[in-house]
């Protein structure tokens, strides 16, 4: 019965991913119904705390986008790239890394892809080199952003397991995930420096240039934000957003600054989940008032829409998986506890594969991490293998990867005829494996 129930979950995930994040959440409801009404399992608990934290973060980031703050960040990034075009392969991934780090979602970097392609072409550099690793970097950093869905999910999961105010807070997680993510991106970028043929030696590319229309399409237009001028409110919103992130990190580092309340006879500091929710709401409110933001336009932005889809996918997947794991926890412990404890890297493999199935780092974490804790994995191992939650680059179906292919007018960033041999597979594997190795060493050394 356990096997049949597990197959139901996998089928729901496979079917759901064909319809994107919303489909994943909706079809997980079918799986939940089958588990409860057909197999008689008691429904688990949806991750309400995680969803509310995500909602607060997305509301703040969407307000920032509406105020024009995202355009300010991207203009600064473009200025850096155009100043040093010869280093585009190294600078592009760190630019997209920083944008996602600040905003908590990789969906903010789409505007950078045509700019990266344009700079590479003008400098005679194969666009695949900077573009593929830039797309990978924009997703890898989600495990390192203090306002990303994945980070706040892991903080919530570990906090719920060990109680409020325990040692493993947002600061400890970022102390490991930030350098590990940067290391993985750096190695992937260095590998990308010499990948593929130079444009002058690429017969397929040179054949395109023989067609005047193709040549005009490839070299004819220039994508840029350099000449745009933004109102002063756009700059204000950027600094307000930075201030909100800084306060979150500060309160995470110094729990004595947070108010304490008596819970079950013990004084405990205010949960970081609630701190993140409060500060993101406050930052969004200050931007709304001070920067003259059109409140009705906030929900129409790409950040808000992508964030709401993420919430819905987390809702359905986590509720369905929690129902299964709670019902069979004792059997799973007997079967897997010894293996997982002695070989914690098996948790990383499961997390990596599930992330591909659900196309979301946060959804994979909410499905797999609680099970890992129940099976006796130490919380520090969840942090050590946090980078493994990014596995959805394996098949080139994620929106950022598809957008990257579309914006490369040279056609060098592409999907191979065997599907799996696409431009993102090798930098993704290199980046994630190196990040996992670095975070594991950091956890083992300092914690």
Which range of residues forms the domain containing residue 80? 2-446
> If you count DSSP H runs as helices and E runs as strands, how many of each does the chain have, helices first?
21, 2
3-state secondary structure 28-81: HHHHHHHHHHHCCCCCCCCCHHHHHHHHHHHHHHHHHHHHCHHHHHHHHHHHHH
Q: What percent of the chain has pLDDT over 70?
A: 91
pLDDT of the residue at 137? 96
Q: What distance in Å separates the CA atoms of residue 411 and residue 408, rounded to the nearest whole number?
A: 6
Q: Per residue in 115-139, pLDDT tens?
A: 888 889 888 899 999 999 999 999 9
pLDDT of the residue at 107? 67
And the tokens for 379? 């919380």
pLDDT of the residue at 96? 92
- Distance from the first to the final alpha carbon of the chain: 40
Q: What distance in Å separates the CA atoms of residue 318 and residue 310, rounded to the nearest whole number?
A: 12
| Cβ atoms of 36 and 355 closer than 8 Å | no
Task: Report the candidate in 303, 312, 301 with the shortest Cα–Cα distance to residue 23.
Answer: 312
And the tokens for 369? 């991490």
Neighbours of 246 (CB within 10 A): 12
Q: What distance in Å separates the CA atoms of residue 108 and residue 118, rounded to the nearest whole number?
A: 18
In the block, which residue shows the tokens 């405990």?
Answer: 268
Q: How confident is the model at residue 397 (pLDDT cuts 50, 70, 90)?
A: low
Q: Per residue in 269-278, pLDDT tens?
A: 787 778 878 9
Q: Per residue in 403-434, pLDDT tens?
A: 788 778 888 988 777 767 889 999 999 999 99
Residues in the chain: 447
Q: How many domains, in total, are found in the chain?
A: 1
Coil, strand or helix at 228:
coil
Higher-pLDDT residue of 250 and 444 is 444
Return the DSSP state at 106. G
Q: What mean pLDDT do residues 353-363 have?
A: 78
pLDDT of the residue at 319? 86
């Amino acid at each position: 019965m356990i096997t049949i129930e597990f197959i139901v979950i996998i089928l729901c995930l496979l079917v759901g991913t064909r319809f994107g994040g919303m489909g994943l959440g909706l079809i997980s409801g079918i799986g939940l119904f089958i588990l409860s009404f057909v197999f008689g399992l008691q429904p688990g608990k949806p991750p309400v705390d995680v969803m509310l934290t995500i909602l607060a973060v997305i509301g703040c980031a969407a307000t920032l986008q509406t105020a024009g703050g995202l355009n300010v960040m991207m203009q600064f990034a473009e200025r850096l790239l155009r100043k040093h075009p010869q280093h585009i392969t190294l600078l592009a991934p760190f630019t997209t890394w920083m944008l996602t780090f600040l905003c908590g979602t990789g969906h903010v970097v789409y505007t950078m892809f045509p700019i990266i392609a344009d700079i590479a072409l003008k400098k005679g550099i194969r666009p695949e080199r900077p573009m593929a690793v830039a797309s990978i970097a924009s997703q890898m950093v989600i495990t390192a952003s203090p306002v990303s869905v994945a980070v706040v999910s892991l903080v919530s999961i570990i906090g719920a397991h060990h109680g409020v105010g325990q040692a493993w807070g947002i600061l400890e997680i970022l102390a490991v995930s930030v350098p590990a993510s940067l290391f993985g991106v750096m190695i992937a970028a260095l590998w990308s420096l010499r990948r593929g043929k130079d444009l002058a030696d690429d017969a397929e590319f040179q054949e395109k240039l023989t067609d005047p229309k193709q040549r005009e399409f490839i070299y004819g237009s220039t994508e840029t934000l350099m000449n745009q001028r933004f109102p002063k409110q756009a700059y204000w919103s950027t600094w307000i957003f930075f201030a909100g992130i800084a306060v979150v990190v500060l309160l995470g580092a110094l729990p004595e600054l947070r108010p304490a309340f008596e819970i079950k006879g013990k004084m405990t500091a205010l949960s970081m989940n609630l701190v993140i929710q409060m500060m993101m709401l406050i930052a969004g409110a200050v931007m709304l008032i001070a920067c003259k933001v059109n409140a009705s336009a906030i929900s129409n932005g790409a950040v808000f829409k992508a964030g709401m889809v993420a919430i819905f996918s987390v809702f359905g997947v986590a509720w369905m998986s929690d129902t299964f794991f709670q019902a069979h926890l004792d059997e799973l412990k007997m079967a897997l506890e010894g293996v997982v404890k002695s070989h914690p890297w098996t948790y990383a493999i499961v997390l990596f594969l599930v992330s591909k199935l659900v196309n979301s780092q946060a959804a994979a974490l909410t499905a797999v991490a609680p099970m890992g804790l129940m099976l006796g994995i130490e919380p520090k191992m969840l942090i050590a293998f946090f980078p493994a939650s990014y596995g959805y680059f394996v098949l080139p179906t994620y929106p950022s990867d598809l957008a990257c292919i579309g914006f490369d007018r040279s056609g060098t960033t592409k999907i191979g005829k065997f599907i799996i041999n696409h431009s993102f597979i090798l930098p993704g594997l290199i980046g994630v494996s190196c990040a996992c190795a670095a975070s594991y060493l950091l956890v083992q050394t300092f914690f």
